[in-house]
Structure 1
Amino acid sequence: MILVTPAAPAHADEVAHVLAEAFEDDPVLAGVVGGPAGPARRTRLLHLFGALVRSGPLRAGTVDVARREGDDRVLGAAVWQAPGAAPGLVGHLGQLPRLLRVDGPAGLLRAASVQRVLDAHRPRRPHWYLQEIGVRASARGLGVGGALVAARLAAVDGQDAPAFLESSTPRNRRLYRRHGFVETAPVRGLPGAAPTGMWRAPRSERATPPG
């Protein structure tokens, strides 16, 4: 059985490792950290996700981790941004030294450029935002990603709030559609990547199945 719980500060390093492994080949983040896939890129991603996890989302309780019942090992993690949270890099300025280890000032400028494009495509209506979600390679196919999404969306539905994300692959979009997301439009302006925006309306605005 897969259990999903809010991450504790002690999970920060493990969550960063899980996400760095999961996103090594992601085209959006390749434009941030630079360089070919391999150990150097994964190290840069580790610094990037270490900064992300230790900033606003972890303090706000919006980082979720998935584990097997009776096992403390983190199999997957999801980083969400709540409505009204500081956008973009603003919420991560306290982690500036760690961000600079991604690829120095040049990497920080690339990250800011990518973030500006993503922010420009986000809906103006306040919403929950799935920033990142990743699963260990050894745990893929076990339903970990679906469990992470479902757990947070249950809370989102409890608030009758909408949610938004970007997805880079058809496989992931199929998963998100099963959880009520619909495709909006491609995100244009990113080097080497064109993820698709996906929106999930509040529970009260979604069509009620007949019966």
Structure 2
Amino acid sequence: MTTTPTRTVIRVADRHDIPALTATLVEAFVDTPDAVWLIPDPGERRRVYQRLCPAILTHAMTSGTVYTSGDHAGAAVWLPHTAAGNPDPHHTALIDRIAGQHAPRFARLAAVLHHHTPHRPHTYLAYLGVAPDRQRHGLGTALLTHRHATCDTAGTPVHLVATTTDARRLYQQHGYYDTTPTPVHLPDGGPPLWPMWRQPHTRSRGTAPGRGRP
């Protein structure tokens, strides 16, 4: 458990946190450009996301780690690169059932993400979501900083895919850089995505973080 200078407590989430975190993630992601591409109708999109987010959280708590704040206003979903590069077929089938008629779009998004997953070992930030009324107040930074400390100590790089320009700027402030020369666009005129990578930061004086190829 970590407490930031602003007294934000970050801890590992468990199954008892799923209802509260579902509400947070739905509000954080339901109107992002990739979500609109996946499900154009806003009412249908919200209904699907209300079923989708608990499934994602449950899977991540088994295959990886979910961190949250004391008030459940934010969540960071982390997976090992093996889980990101080799999706669980049972989880994929569950997502297909939840998505229903929209499953082909979810499959196309998953294929794009898989194509841009680096092969070298890393940890994968699958989702970083903060409730809209708590955004730009340092909670996303607190969630990132908490995990980065562990990654830096272990020498573990991080991979993620930013889905908005605001998210990309936040990640750049924390040492991430683009791994493609131009954004990756989803099919059929879909929105841009930015695959990104962060090298572990060393504590040695005068040593800059590396930018090894992912």
TM-score range, shorter chain: 0.7 to 0.9
2:88 match: secondary structure:
helix
Pair 1:76 & 2:79 matched: no
Cα displacement (A) at 1:162: 0.7
Structure 2, unmatched stretches of 5+, are 1-6, 209-214
Q: CA deviation at 1:60?
A: 3.9
What CA deviation, in whole Å up to 9, does each residue of 1:104-130 have, x standing for no partner? Answer: 1x3223212210111101222121111
Question: For residue 70 of structure 1, what is the aligned residue in structure 2?
Answer: none
In 1, distance between residues paired with 2:187 and 2:77? 21
Shift of 1:176: 0.8
Instruction: Flag structure 1 segments of 5+ consecutive residues without an equivalent.
Output: 68-72
1:36 matched to 2:41: yes
SS in 1 for 2:129: strand
Runs of 4+ more than 6 Å apart: none
Partner residue in 2 for 1:162:
157
Tell me the TM-score normalised to structure 2 length. 0.82
Pairwise CA RMSD of aligned residues? Answer: 2.4
1:15 and 1:96 mapped to 2: Cα distance?
22
Distance in 2, matches of 1:168 and 1:119, equals: 15
| Aligned residue among 198, 201, 204 for 1:200 | 198
Q: Under a length normalisation based on structure 1, what TM-score does the superposition of the two structures give?
A: 0.83
2:136 match: 141
Query: Where does residue 97 of structure 2 map in the other structure?
Result: 100
DSSP 3-state at the match of 1:208 = coil
Distance 1:97 1:139, change over 3 A: same
Letter in structure 2 aligned against 1:159: A
Secondary structure at the counterpart of residue 203 of structure 1: coil
Partner residue, 1:58? 61
Return the alpha-carbon distance in structure 1 between the equivalents of residues 48 and 129 of structure 2.
16
Aligned residues with identical type, % of pairs: 30
Alignment partners' CA distance in 2, 1:95 and 1:116 = 12
Deviation at 1:188, TM superposition (A): 3.4
Q: Which amino acid aligns with 1:36?
A: D
